[in-house]
Amino acid sequence: MDYMTQRRPLVEALKNFQQQRPVSFHVPGHKHGELSGLPNEIRSALQYDQTELSGLDDLHYPEGAIREAQQLLAEAYEADKSFFLVNGSTSGNLAMIHAVCKEGDRVLVQRNSHKSIFHALELAKLQPVYLAPEWGEASLSAESVSLKTLKDAIQLYPEAKALILTYPNYYGMAGVEIEEMIKYSHQFDIPVLVDEAHGAHLLAGPPFPRSALSYGADAVVQSAHKTLPAMTMGSFLHIKGSRVNADRVSKYLRMFQSSSPSYLIMASLDDARAFIQTYSGPDKQYFQEKRKLFIGSLRTISDLEVVEADDPLKIMLRVEGYNGFRLQEKLEEMNVYAEMADSLQVVMVSPLLKQSHTYPFAEIGSRIREAVQQLRKEQRDKKLLITRQEPIAISEPEISYEAIDLADSEWISYTKAMGRHSAAMVTPYPPGVPLALPGEIWTQAKLEQLMDHLAAGAVIQGEHKLAEKQLLVIQHGGNE
């Protein structure tokens, strides 16, 4: 194994710095953890929670260890330029969109994007055109946009300045047409920006799907903390080709990220890159064997349906007649915590094991079996919600972000919201895919889905007063 792939320049710089027994007369105020009242396990890590000192480099103007670590990251993912993100994939989504688009630009956006994408559109004051995804019968979720929908959208909006996609989706489903979609967009010189939050591990190769970056995407954001061993908020941003200006991306990252970046997060990103870059064939075989045994054991549990995703890290669990939130609750009573639940299922993220790792799969399987048995003792749900998207392939909000900002809004009962323009984003979370976006009309179908989400026990984020059964809409007589 190549020495350079194993190197962790920032981790090494932090270790060397700490070995000098430095005395702190600088921020942060915990003084290497000496003044911290946190538990010892956390406090001991604070000696590496440093700031931009000599030898530790500067994330926003890197010249030393951070620069070398980011160069190794770009080499690993075969990008032209890669960045460490300490404010999560949200900051990367904001930066790449602002770097490519200017106010008033038309952009094509996958309708089931993460809320951070829609926040970026609003901040940049863009004109979005929403592309509805196809429904996945296996995952029972909104998956990816079809090539046909994209072609139709570009024919209708040839002036589009960017295509913004999500790949793979939260459930681990990868679009089979993404390579053709990227090539088709490039025929019109439209940059393709991909929120690949759940794909930092795809570098491992088959049987994992390929990264959008390898298919030719121009900018790709990955949450290293989701599937690689990085700390929460640690993410990557990759640039490839000439359609996205790396200097502009760097400029916006300085705006959207903290001026005091966490060295603990950055060190964990350096470590995560080394982890996946050194992920070997025997490591992959070991992971696959453990996964196969675990899934096999789950399939012996009566009444439990196990659904495998395109991404082997994701597993969906269902119990017929019971919604996913209730299954999640029973699992948590057994101290098994899944990534998310929806009205039909629970989604689990498996660990990307190497040969040196162990995981208590047998014990976990026993707990899941007990959780299912306890759930089956309870009354079945009368109705299970299937949250299909509305069948409009291409749409745009009737009211612009600017007009929404200028318009007056009012709170009304959600029983009276049909036909009114939403003044806010309303998002079942997770997965963070908006049910209604600012400027969109509340239809009967959307309101029924909202009621079903609430009845099923979903958490709804956004600007709303659903506890009081109220939604925020634009006032009549304004811009409606």
User: For residue 82, what is the enclosing H or E element?
Assistant: strand 81-85
Q: Which amino acid is at 404?
A: I
Average of per-residue pLDDT across 42-50? 96
410 bridge partner residues: 473
Q: Which amino acid is at 173?
A: M
Higher-confidence residue of 364 and 466: namely: 364
pLDDT digit string (tens) for 277-296?
999 999 999 999 999 999 99
Domain ranges in the chain with CATH number 3.90.1150.150: 281-376
Contact between 113 and 103 under an 8 Å Cβ cutoff? The reply is no
Higher-confidence residue of 195 and 414: namely: 195
**Could you give phi then psi for residue 462, rounded to 5 degrees?**
120, -175
pLDDT digit string (tens) for 171-193?
999 988 999 999 999 999 999 99
Task: State the pLDDT at residue 233.
Answer: 98
Read off the tokens for 141: 């979720």
Produce one character per residue of 6-19: b if its CB has 16 or more CB atoms within 10 Å, e if not.
ebbbbbebbeebee
Residue 59, classed as helix, strand or coil, is coil
Q: CATH says 398-474 is which class? A: alpha beta
Q: Report percent pLDDT > 90 for the chain.
A: 84
pLDDT digit string (tens) for 246-264?
999 999 999 999 999 999 9
CA dist list (Å): 438 to 161, 324, 435: 21, 28, 10
Q: What would you measure as the largest C-alpha separation in the chain, in angstroms?
A: 68
Task: Give the Cβ contact number of residue 438 at 10 Å.
Answer: 26
Position 367 pLDDT exceeds 60: yes
Pairing of strands 426-429, 459-462: antiparallel
With cut-offs at 50, 70 and 90, classify the pLDDT of residue 5.
Answer: confident
Q: What is the DSSP letter of 380?
A: P
Contact between 201 and 123 under an 8 Å Cβ cutoff? The reply is no
pLDDT digit string (tens) for 230-245?
999 999 999 999 999 9
Asked, as a colleague might, if the bond just before 430 is cis with ω within 30 of 0, I would say yes
Q: How far apart are CA 248 and CA 332, in angstroms?
A: 44
Asked, as a colleague might, if the bond just before 428 is cis with ω within 30 of 0, I would say no
Contact between 372 and 303 under an 8 Å Cβ cutoff? The reply is yes
Q: Output the 3-class SS for 398-429.
A: CCCHHHHHHCCEEEEEHHHCCCCEECCCEEEE
Task: State the pLDDT at residue 326.
Answer: 96
Q: 0.75 exceeded by the pTM?
A: yes
Task: Give the Cβ contact number of residue 63 at 10 Å.
Answer: 9
84 bridge partner residues: 236
What's the CATH number for 281-376? Answer: 3.90.1150.150
Domain ranges in the chain with CATH number 3.40.640.10: 3-102+161-278
What's the CATH number for 3-102+161-278? Answer: 3.40.640.10
Residue 381 — left, alpha, or beta (φ > 0 → left; ψ -120 to 50 → alpha)? beta
With cut-offs at 50, 70 and 90, classify the pLDDT of residue 391.
Answer: low
Domain ranges in the chain with CATH number 3.90.100.10: 398-474
Residue 32, classed as helix, strand or coil, is coil
Task: State the pLDDT at residue 408.
Answer: 93
With cut-offs at 50, 70 and 90, classify the pLDDT of residue 390.
Answer: low
Which residues of 250-396 form beta strands (DSSP E)? 304-308, 314-319, 340-341, 346-349, 394-395
Q: How far apart are CA 254 and CA 107, in angstroms?
A: 24
Lowest pLDDT segment from 41-50, 73-82, 330-339, 469-478: 469-478
Average of per-residue pLDDT across 110-135? 94
Contact between 306 and 327 under an 8 Å Cβ cutoff? The reply is no
Position 450 pLDDT exceeds 70: yes
**Could you give phi then psi for residue 220, rounded to 5 degrees?**
-135, 130
Task: State the pLDDT at residue 156.
Answer: 98
411 bridge partner residues: 472
Which residue in 323, 315, 372, 317 sits closest to 344, CA to CA? 323
With cut-offs at 50, 70 and 90, classify the pLDDT of residue 455.
Answer: confident
Q: How far apart are CA 115 and CA 433, in angstroms?
A: 6
Position 2 pLDDT exceeds 70: no
Q: What is the DSSP letter of 393?
A: S
Show Cβ contacts of residue 183 under 8 Å, excluding neighbours closer than 6 positions.
Answer: 216
Task: Give the Cβ contact number of residue 434 at 10 Å.
Answer: 24
Q: What string of DSSP letters covers 361-407?
A: HHHHHHHHHHHHHHHHTSPPPS-----PPPS-SEE--SS-HHHHHHS
